[in-house]
Amino acid sequence: MLVDYHMHLENGPKTLDYVEQFLKVAKRRGISEIGFSEHCYRFKEARHLLDNAWARERNVDSLKEYLELLNRAKQKGWPIKIGIEVDYLPEAEGRIREFLKEYEFDYVFGSVHWLDDFGFDLKENLSVWEQSDVTQVWKDYFETLLKAAESGLFDSLPHPDLIKIYNFYPKEDLNSFIAEIFREIAKTGVALEASTAGWRKPIGEMYPSTDILELIKVHNIPITLASDAHFPEDVGKDFDRMIPILQKAGIEEFLRFNKHQRSKERF
């Protein structure tokens, strides 16, 4: 039975009834276990980890209440894992490390959404993309992704080629550069995420690309499965489309997590 470890409660009430809506959709789509990984910037306790004007406007939730809610769901016997999605910034690595020591999670995701003050996946920054050296932005992104892997802070790195979201591609051939990045990521032991969310974005394809899936297979990098659902109806969405692509790439296993301990399961 499959798992879906990447979803968010931010668009609904923080109640057991809302959590159960995610579970009901999961069951209907053959997902045996789900995991919530709310964006860290939403929590007041984590405001020091991503301190910019965009994040401050969204820094409204309580991490304490989030954990209490999901632990109540667990106590009911619901098949739920508790995670968090942290925005990785190299300069914040020490602060992230200290923050994570204070809380218990089943897994921690490390995402790259920001390159300095450039939130490259935000619609309002499309004009920044248009004025950027796209090749350099891609290099900066993958170098930062590698630093996230090497930090040892994270169990998995979500949507590992998120940088493609708006179809801005470098003119320079970066295949060798990207291959070297994933060769180094493999040495860290961190997992990477296979996600259906890209089909709901302008790029119109899953994360990661088939080229990167080949690198994941070659280097035997473990994967986690995700829909990145921000609403219940997206839980497990397009898994029936994603799994055959993974299998065609020769990937036959995915990870489950329990308090950072991972186990492999076959499709």
- Parent domain of 229: 2-266
Number of domains in the chain: 1
Average pLDDT, the chain: 98
Bond before 90 cis per omega within 30 degrees:
no
CATH number of the structural domain spanning residue 52? 3.20.20.140
- The rounded distance, in Å, linking the Cα atoms of 178 and 182 is 6
Q: What is the pLDDT of residues 210-224, one digit of tens each?
A: 999 999 999 999 999
Q: What is the pLDDT of residue 129?
A: 98
User: By C-alpha distance, which of 88, 82, 99, 90 is closest to 34?
Assistant: 82
Average pLDDT of the segment spanning 62-80 = 98
Q: What is the pLDDT of residues 224-267, one digit of tens each?
A: 999 999 999 999 999 999 999 999 999 999 999 999 999 999 99
Q: What is the pLDDT of residue 42?
A: 98
CA angle 144, 57, 82 (to 5 degrees): 60
Three-class SS of residue 111?
Answer: strand
Question: Which residues, listed in sequence order, are joined to residue 195 by a DSSP beta bridge?
Answer: 207, 226
- The rounded distance, in Å, linking the Cα atoms of 92 and 213 is 29
**Class of residue 34 by CB neighbours under 10 A (exposed 0-12, middle 13-18, buried 19+):** buried
Task: Kindly state the tokens that stand for 136.
Answer: 């350099």
Q: What is the pLDDT of residue 133?
A: 98
Q: What is the pLDDT of residues 26-53, one digit of tens each?
A: 999 999 999 999 999 999 999 999 999 9
Return the half-sphere exposure (C-beta side, CA atoms, 13 A cut-off) of residue 236.
Answer: 18
- CA distances, 211 to each of 10, 109, 256 (Å): 32, 22, 24
Share of the chain above pLDDT 70, in %: 100
